[in-house]
Structure 1
Amino acid sequence: MLTLFAISLAVLVYIFIGYPLVLALLSGLLARPVRRRDITPEISLIISAYNEQDVIREKLENTLALDYPREKLEVIVASEAADGTNAIVRQYADRGIVLHAYENREGKAATLFRTVPRARGEIVVFSDANALYHRDALRKLVRNFADPHVGCVSGRLTYVNPNGTAIGQGETTYWEFEFLLKGMLSRMMKLSGGVNGSIFAIRKSLYLPVDRFRGDDFELSNRIQISGHGVILEPEALSFEEASATSRQEFRRKVRLATWNLQSTLILMREALSAGDVLTAFILFSHRFLRYTTPLWLGSLFVSNLFLREGVLAWLFALQVLFYLMAAAGFVLEKRRLPVKTLFLLPFYFCMVNGAALLALMKNCTRKTDILWEKAR
């Protein structure tokens, strides 16, 4: 039991403390500056949509107001919608919005696979229907492609939490930590942790189809990286999304994404090692694989500590129990729509994320993978 306890504790310390410190060191040693320059290549902005009639009009108006030469911007809505989304999009045909409507619901990856080859832009920007861009977001994204080594650029996702929901506060805190890690990865042009699916751009010539059972943006960006091109973060290219209103909604979304991305992580690690890209394989292992296995290490730490309750280990066990009790309190408060203070919010959100990861692991083990997308929010 002592060995299991020690291993579990060591892995968890590495995931949350050791890995960020290693990244800080590597990003200082392996930094590669990006040669940015203001350019205006032809862009195809592809908006993925599934039953988005409530938000698609605002998205199109936001897109048409972006600061980018209109003659160099192609806007495509790739839709598998069965509601009124397509009818709304058709109202914008005279303003240059192109609708690619597909009847069979095959999932986001399959929809993009059918749409990207039909795009005319040199640069393809991928967006979601519920993501609103800052006016200069496209210019900020594409200026990085002045550097011929750059193959993919991710913008920065910012969550808006107008209702002050607990789950929204937790999501905001999570993304602040993730943004810190991605900034260090970007300095090495190794954004293996993943691009933001609501705002990222690639050179069209580098597009590769992604299996519809896996994460499209995560796998596509890493494949571009493994092929030898730089993948970076542009922190000034801003995308805004409204945070999930409930923990149930956010939990389902995280299970879906973790299920897809876990499969992709294992495949990409093997491909990176085969290509001799040890750094990418290391980042994928540390940033994704170990993080998805966190609930297993948390469980083994708790169970082993249950049998090792002497001296300082007794205090550590008591702290674990207290942490999970605070998470349970946060869950109850959120369910009753009562204010959740930070003391309970962070344990609650942490446990929700790891509960989603555990369910994703189980789905992968039983091969119960859902390829179909849901509404963006």
Structure 2
Amino acid sequence: MQPSFILIILGMTCLLLFAYPYFIYPVILKTLPILPVRRGAFAGRASLQFCVHNEEAALPQKLASLKRLKTTMPDLEILVFDDSSTDASAQILSQEDGLLTLVRGVDRCGKAAGMKRLAAMAQGDIIVFTDANVIFADDAIQKLLTYYADGNVGGVCGTLLYQDESPSITSEISTSYWSLDERARSLETATGNVMGADGSIFSIRRHLYPDFPDTVLDDLTVSMSVIFQGRRLIKADDVIAYERSVAVHDEEFRRKIRIGARAYHTHSYLRPQLRQMQRIDRFKYASRKQMRWFGGLFLGLAGLCFVGAIAGYSWILAAGALVVAGAAAIVLQRLGPALMAKPIAAATLIFATLYGVILGMTGRTFVTWAPAKSR
């Protein structure tokens, strides 16, 4: 068999591995047995909590949403941690004594530390977690609580919808990626457990809240602890929240690096418990989490294999193809139509995630955060 042909086969295999978590994994999930969830009235109380750092631009809309939630659920407890904001966030929140309880940090400590402080204060049977820039549908918490009528359910994730007032290539990529992720979460739920929550909207039974270091992703750690403790973690398609996606490529690029590093750091912390999960959950976790983290590696290896196949015929032709492909990528990203610019921009974000994971593998992580200005 010709070496060039072998390289082409290897390149196609790498492309399949790259596509697997997005397109092949969901098809496999559809073949698994369905595990229904029983819904009904839930008499317990809910506590809603989130952290803030320099979110004064998002707070007016957030507070209006909280007031609507409080109108329909008067016993809803709302807890907010201000992580040493340098803008007017703390002042704005401090004026809402009748609506929420504000805890102010002395020094920057990060979201995980802030969430732990709030969780220790929470009085509700169910703790609902969110972000400062996320807006809940008015009936979101009421619908969320109905899933806790099922005693096997320990955690419920909501459904996040992106709203783009000024669409950009970056925001459209984020929306498309998130749609694929939400679809996978729904399919995972139908077959048992969803593999981790996003911090925008999720909840757990308060007594299941774990202890963990401040350096990990609190949303992934807290939500996966539900599974580790033998309860179901599910996604509710009718529990809706809204968020504006990041519109500037550089901001999203840095965000992907930060998330990738923290995700792998969290994975390392959770590894002993991950290994003890049921086989189906280990399969799900590897398929949706780990395979995506290394998507940039599969994509890069595919490119190298194809270049190597061309080089088998002519190194000059291979070098010329690389130069032309690189020049075309730069020109199309800056001047070309969105049809060509989107794949290029998406590829850079995929490699940003891989870079973050590599940082995580070397022991690097991120504790604090800054809100994206383009949201």
- Name the TM tier (shorter chain): 0.7 to 0.9
**Corresponding position of 1:230:** 232
Q: Does 1:278 align with 2:279?
A: yes
**Corresponding position of 2:301:** 300
Q: Does 1:255 align with 2:264?
A: no
What amino acid maps onto 1:235 in structure 2? D
Question: Contact between 1:52 and 1:129, CA under 8 Å: does it hold in 2?
Answer: yes
Q: Report the Cα distance in structure 1 between the residues aligned to 2:342 and 2:133, rounded to whole angstroms.
A: 26
**Corresponding position of 2:191:** 188
Query: Which of 76, 89, 112 is the matching residue for 1:85?
Result: 89
Question: Contact between 1:326 and 1:348, CA under 8 Å: does it hold in 2?
Answer: no
**Corresponding position of 2:366:** 370
Question: Contact between 1:269 and 1:285, CA under 8 Å: does it hold in 2?
Answer: no
Query: Which of 128, 153, 165 is the matching residue for 1:150?
Result: 153
Which secondary structure state, in structure 2, belongs to the residue aligned with residue 196 of structure 1? coil
Instruction: List gaps (5 residues or longer) in structure 1.
Output: 334-339
- Range moving further from structure 2, 23-32 or 344-353: 23-32
User: Counterparts in 2 of 1:1-377, with a 5 A limit?
Assistant: 6-7=9-10, 9-17=12-20, 20-66=23-69, 69-80=72-83, 81-93=85-97, 95-192=98-195, 194-273=196-275, 275-309=276-310, 328-329=330-331, 331-333=333-335, 341-375=337-371, 377=375
Q: CA deviation at 1:323?
A: 7.9
Question: Contact between 2:18 and 2:299, CA under 8 Å: does it hold in 1?
Answer: no
Q: Report the Cα distance in structure 1 between the residues aligned to 2:21 and 2:99, rounded to whole angstroms.
A: 50
TM-score, normalization by structure 2: 0.88
- CA 1:325–1:239: 2 relative to 1, 3 Å: farther
What amino acid maps onto 1:135 in structure 2? D
Q: CA deviation at 1:244?
A: 1.1
Q: CA deviation at 1:27?
A: 4.4
- CA 1:115–1:149: 2 relative to 1, 3 Å: same
Q: Report the Cα distance in structure 2 between the residues aligned to 1:139 and 1:317, rounded to whole angstroms.
A: 60
What amino acid maps onto 2:353 in structure 1? A
Q: Report the Cα distance in structure 2 between the residues aligned to 1:362 and 1:276, rounded to whole angstroms.
A: 25
Q: CA deviation at 1:103?
A: 1.1
- CA 1:322–1:72: 2 relative to 1, 3 Å: farther
- Range moving further from structure 2, 130-139 or 299-308: 299-308
Q: CA deviation at 1:345?
A: 4.1
TM-score, normalization by structure 1: 0.87
Question: Contact between 2:50 and 2:115, CA under 8 Å: does it hold in 1?
Answer: no
Which secondary structure state, in structure 1, belongs to the residue aligned with residue 78 of structure 2? strand
- Range moving further from structure 2, 288-297 or 260-269: 260-269
Q: Which has the higher contact order (CA 8 A, sep 6+)?
A: 2
What amino acid maps onto 2:202 in structure 1? F
- CA 1:115–1:327: 2 relative to 1, 3 Å: farther
Question: Contact between 1:329 and 1:344, CA under 8 Å: does it hold in 2?
Answer: no
Q: CA deviation at 1:30?
A: 2.8
**Corresponding position of 1:337:** none
Question: Contact between 1:42 and 1:72, CA under 8 Å: does it hold in 2?
Answer: yes
Q: Report the Cα distance in structure 1 between the residues aligned to 2:252 and 2:31, rounded to whole angstroms.
A: 35
Q: Report the Cα distance in structure 1 between the residues aligned to 2:231 and 2:31, rounded to whole angstroms.
A: 20
Which secondary structure state, in structure 1, belongs to the residue aligned with residue 309 of structure 2? coil
Question: Contact between 2:252 and 2:349, CA under 8 Å: does it hold in 1?
Answer: no
Give percent identity, aligned residues only.
Answer: 26
Which secondary structure state, in structure 2, belongs to the residue aligned with residue 177 of structure 1? helix
Question: Contact between 1:251 and 1:356, CA under 8 Å: does it hold in 2?
Answer: yes
Q: Report the Cα distance in structure 1 between the residues aligned to 2:45 and 2:180, rounded to whole angstroms.
A: 34
Q: CA deviation at 1:8?
A: 5.3
Q: Spell out, residue by residue over 1:170-221, the C-alpha distance to the aligned partner (whole angstroms, 9 max, x if none).
A: 11111111121111111123111x3221111111011013322221111221
What amino acid maps onto 1:244 in structure 2? V
- CA 1:223–1:182: 2 relative to 1, 3 Å: same
- Range moving further from structure 2, 52-61 or 8-17: 8-17
Instruction: List gaps (5 residues or longer) in structure 2.
Output: none
Q: Report the Cα distance in structure 1 between the residues aligned to 2:9 and 2:339, rounded to whole angstroms.
A: 27
- CA 1:169–1:276: 2 relative to 1, 3 Å: closer
Paired positions, count: 365
